[in-house]
């Protein structure tokens, strides 16, 4: 196979067949191809890659594909309405602005208790073109001190009130505490962004169900924090295969909250760059984000100003704005739907250009997927 891009896709499919099963079946649905033919094609590709005699099924599969203008495109999840806005996944990249109502943000942008600064942050998000504003009251940087629900509420509720006074943009509450989520939603927030994937507080799922709101499930893992001249990070985090394990754990989280009663179409997946992963593991994830399309959910990427940028640059003092844009563009190219950022206007401009370059029309939401036979 001479095409490096095709070779890479084949390698990833063979390495992560479970991750790609939903995506492959989504293509099949969009093209009108029976799932059984996809399974036969996968078996044939695997046989050829491992030096065995290939059956003619793969060629038949390709010949049987119904023509689609400009070629097949990645099916996207069904649109999601948040507050009064429809998020049509795949039509364009959406931008989530960060509002840190904290006093110890790693990015130095904490605005806890400062009404003027909160107003300025909200206004900058609006003028920059944000689609969502994510409000958090506890720093989650490596080694940060945890705060009580009471203190977190004292920080986020005034910020929500100010934001809601200024704008009708959807507001997200960035918390892993169910009580904080409940009161924030009652105060005007529209969705929950949980960095522990609804596992830190057993009441989180029921809180989201009662509110009927969307939920961002992020992958995370307990790990010892570290700090050097390049910034705070995690060290000694063991993964056999970080991409495969993060994918599997996110898939389990999605299944668990769906079983608890949260509809799949309200769930957004986040691989958790910077959380419970070493700098090298974060870079590997950033290079293989397309694997997470196989989850069948909208994807959120939060890499803005994080130490992974400083590690990649080899300079802890460097301005990370340009590095953040580079990481965000890599995410968009691999199918990311939402960018969570500090520098909203820069992110929106970069996203609009990348969206224009990619110009990917969307296909209808695929039917529920069925697992492919394992590739041996």
- The CA distances from residue 273 to 31, 38, 288, 334, in Å, are 33, 32, 12, 15
Q: How far apart, in whole angstroms, are the C-alpha atoms of residue 121 and residue 115?
A: 10
Q: Is 306 a catalytic residue?
A: yes
Residue with tokens 């986040």: 270
Q: How far apart, in whole angstroms, are the C-alpha atoms of residue 54 and residue 41?
A: 10
Which helix or strand (DSSP H or E) is residue 118 part of? helix 115-128
Cβ neighbours, 10 Å, residue 54? 15
Q: Which of 306, 320, 360, 370 is catalytic?
A: 306
Q: How far apart, in whole angstroms, are the C-alpha atoms of residue 41 and residue 20?
A: 13
- The conformation of residue 52, written as its DSSP 8-state character, comes to P
Q: Is 92 a catalytic residue?
A: no
Q: Which residues contact 196 (CB under 8 A, 6 or more apart)?
A: 176, 218, 220
Q: How far apart, in whole angstroms, are the C-alpha atoms of residue 304 and residue 124?
A: 16
Q: Which of 340, 352, 360, 370 is catalytic?
A: 340
Q: Which residues are catalytic?
A: 306, 340
């Amino acid at each position: 196979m001479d095409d490096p891009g095709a070779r890479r896709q084949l390698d990833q499919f063979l390495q992560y067949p479970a991750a790609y099963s939903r995506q492959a079946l989504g293509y099949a649905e969009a093209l009108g191809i029976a799932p059984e033919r996809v399974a036969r094609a996968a078996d044939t590709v695997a046989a050829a890659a491992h030096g065995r005699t290939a059956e003619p099924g793969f060629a038949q599969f390709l010949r049987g594909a119904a023509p689609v203008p400009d070629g097949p495109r990645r099916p996207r999840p069904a649109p999601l309405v948040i507050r009064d806005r429809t998020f049509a996944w795949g039509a364009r990249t959406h931008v989530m602005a960060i509002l840190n109502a904290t006093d110890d943000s790693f990015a130095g942008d904490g605005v806890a208790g400062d009404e003027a600064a909160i107003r300025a942050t909200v206004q900058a998000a609006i003028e920059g073109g944000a689609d969502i504003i994510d409000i958090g009251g506890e720093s989650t940087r490596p080694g940060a001190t945890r705060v009580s629900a009471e203190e977190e509420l004292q920080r986020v509720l005034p910020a929500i009130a100010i934001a809601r006074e200024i704008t009708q943009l959807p507001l997200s509450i960035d918390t892993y505490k169910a009580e904080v989520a409940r009161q924030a939603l009652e105060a005007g927030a529209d969705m929950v962004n949980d960095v522990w994937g609804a596992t830190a507080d057993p009441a989180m799922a029921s809180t989201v169900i009662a509110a009927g709101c969307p939920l961002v499930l992020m992958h995370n893992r307990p790990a010892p924090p570290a700090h050097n001249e390049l910034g705070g990070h995690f060290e000694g985090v063991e993964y056999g295969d970080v991409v495969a394990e993060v994918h599997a754990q996110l898939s389990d989280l999605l299944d668990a909250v769906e079983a608890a009663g949260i509809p799949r179409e309200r769930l957004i997946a986040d691989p958790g760059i910077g959380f419970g992963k070493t700098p090298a593991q974060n870079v590997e994830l950033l290079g293989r984000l397309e694997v997470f399309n196989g989850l069948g959910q909208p994807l959120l990427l939060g890499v803005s100003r994080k130490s992974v940028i400083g590690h990649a640059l080899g300079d802890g003092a460097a301005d990370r704005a340009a590095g953040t844009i580079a990481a965000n563009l890599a995410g968009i190219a691999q199918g990311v739907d939402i960018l969570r950022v500090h520098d909203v206007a820069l992110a929106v401009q970069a996203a609009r250009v990348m969206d224009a370059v990619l110009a990917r029309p969307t296909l209808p939401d695929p039917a529920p997927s069925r697992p492919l036979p394992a590739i041996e």
